[in-house]
Amino acid sequence: MPRALFLDRDGVINRDFGYVYRKEQFEFVDGIFDLTRAARREGYLVIVITNQSGIGRGIYGEADFQALMQWVRVEFEARGTGLDAIYHCPFHPEYGLGGYKRESPCRKPAPGMILQAARDHSLDLASSLLVGDSVTDMQAGEAAGVGRLFLLTGEDNKYAAAFPISNLRELIPFLTAPES
Ligand SMILES: [Mg+2]
């Protein structure tokens, strides 16, 4: 069964300036290309799971998100790596407009996006890894049964079930490490 490296987007792939939707705002986080290159070499699928309530809030549109992510995919490919799948959740239970205002099983800390990815790609979640920069990422990973969780420390820097890292490259040795 394939395994995945799950990545949060804002704060992990790009610096989180809040509601990033244009490529001019997209600043890649140090180490992201090295990490994903190593992960793919080890046979992991690289899968993005990202809350995008900016869509639901009307700050930017679905088409803006898709266009940006298409550009991001090309930037990865230009560096000899890539993203295998991207899942996003546009809803927000309080601030969503119209049909976007709802509770959703896809919105982290709920595990819906991870579980959907597992169904779509027949993933072995127990041998998969997740990296995020917030506790809600860790909660989603833990609820889904992802084997190892890595918290890129910043604003949130503690979560009992997660291994803290301060740079994405610190995760690379874990790609080959046996389960502990
Ligand atoms: Mg984040």
Task: Confirm whether 78 is domain-assigned.
Answer: yes
> What is each CA distance from 73 to 31, 39, 62, 80, 84, in whole angstroms?
16, 16, 16, 11, 9
Q: pLDDT class for 158, splitting at 50, 70, 90?
A: confident
Q: Is the pTM of this model over 0.85?
A: yes
Low-confidence winner among 19-28, 38-47, 148-157, 159-168 (lowest mean pLDDT) = 148-157
Contact 140, 87 (CB under 8 A): no
The DSSP line for 110-149 is S-HHHHHHHHHHT--GGG-EEEESSHHHHHHHHHHT-SEE
Q: What is the mean pLDDT of the chain?
A: 95
Both tokens of 144, joined, read: 């889904």
Spacing, Cα 12 to ligand 1 middle (Å): 6
> What is each CA distance from 79 to 6, 14, 70, in whole angstroms?
19, 15, 15
Instruction: Give the domain CATH number at 96.
Output: 3.40.50.1000
Looking at residues 157-169, what average pLDDT do you find?
Answer: 91
Task: Confirm whether 145 is domain-assigned.
Answer: no
Catalytic residues: 8, 10
Cα(17)–Cα(26) distance, integer angstroms: 9
Spacing, Cα 61 to ligand 1 middle (Å): 19
Domain count for the chain: 1
Task: Confirm whether 96 is domain-assigned.
Answer: yes
Spacing, Cα 139 to ligand 1 middle (Å): 13
